[in-house]
């Protein structure tokens, strides 16, 4: 099956001089790509006896569903924030900031699940597992950078959220060394 035509419009739009889609959308896509690779590694490693892998897969599917909606929602929320007037503007900023934070929290959940199951992943598929984790780490870094941008652009104090994401990036960097 050929997938390149399915991605062409999105990638062209992402590379165009436009605010939609942007980094938040790409972060959502990165989460979905990462989880899909981790799911593949789980499916090659799972067995009837290994309930932990099956439970992990169910958790990951839920996070992926939420992240998938973020691919379009981030741009919609960003556009709404830029166009809003008066009191609606501040609410739009907070809504955009919340979905950015939620995506980053989803990444942290994926990393926590992955840390628990990595020893159960077959060595023959471990590279895909770690490539998936690299996508997740990239999406978490993107969420961090978007929170920082929201702080300066919209005047939102994200110091605690930024510190939270930085702490997780640091912790997981210790065991994500391949």
> Among 41, 50, 4, which Cα is nearest to 123's?
41
Residue 128 pLDDT > 70: yes
- Cα angle: 21, vertex 23, 24; to 5 degrees: 85
The pLDDT assigned to 41 comes to 96
The pLDDT assigned to 81 comes to 85
Task: Indicate whether 155 belongs to any domain.
Answer: yes
Task: Indicate whether 9 belongs to any domain.
Answer: no
Residue 70 pLDDT > 80: yes
- The confidence band for 123, taking pLDDT boundaries of 50, 70 and 90, is very high
Domains in the chain, number: 1
Alpha helices (H) along the chain: 4-15, 23-45, 51-83, 87-117, 126-154, 159-175
Residue 169 pLDDT > 70: yes
pLDDT tens digits, residue range 16-47? 998 789 999 999 999 999 999 999 999 999 87
Which residues form the domain of 153?
20-175
CATH number at residue 117: 1.20.120.680
Task: Indicate whether 3 belongs to any domain.
Answer: no
- As a dihedral over the C-alpha atoms of residue 16, residue 103, residue 127, residue 42, rounded to 10 degrees, the angle is -130
Task: Indicate whether 154 belongs to any domain.
Answer: yes
**pTM summary value:** 0.91
The pLDDT assigned to 124 comes to 96
Task: Indicate whether 135 belongs to any domain.
Answer: yes
Asked if residue 110 lies in contact with residue 41, where contact means CB atoms within 8 angstroms, the answer is: no
Task: Indicate whether 7 belongs to any domain.
Answer: no
Asked if residue 34 lies in contact with residue 132, where contact means CB atoms within 8 angstroms, the answer is: yes
Mean of pLDDT values over 68-73: 93
Task: Indicate whether 43 belongs to any domain.
Answer: yes
Task: Indicate whether 50 belongs to any domain.
Answer: yes
pLDDT tens digits, residue range 81-93? 889 898 888 888 8
């Amino acid at each position: 099956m050929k997938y390149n035509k399915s991605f062409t419009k999105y990638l062209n739009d992402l590379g165009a001089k436009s605010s939609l889609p942007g980094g938040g959308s790409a972060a959502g896509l990165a989460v979905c790509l990462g989880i899909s690779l981790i799911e593949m590694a789980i499916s090659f490693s799972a067995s009837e006896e290994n309930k932990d892998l099956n439970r992990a897969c169910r958790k990951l599917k839920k996070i992926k569903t939420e992240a998938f909606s973020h691919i379009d929602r981030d741009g919609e929320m960003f556009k709404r924030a830029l166009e809003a007037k008066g009191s609606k503007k501040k609410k739009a900023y907070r809504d955009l900031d919340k979905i950015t934070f939620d995506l980053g929290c989803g990444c942290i959940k994926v990393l926590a699940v992955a840390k628990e199951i990595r020893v159960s992943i077959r060595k023959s598929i471990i590279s895909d597992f770690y490539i998936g984790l690299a996508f997740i780490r990239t999406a978490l870094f993107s969420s961090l950078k978007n929170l920082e941008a929201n702080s300066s652009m919209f005047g939102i104090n994200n110091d605690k959220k930024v510190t939270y994401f930085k702490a997780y990036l640091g912790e997981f960097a210790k065991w994500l060394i391949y």
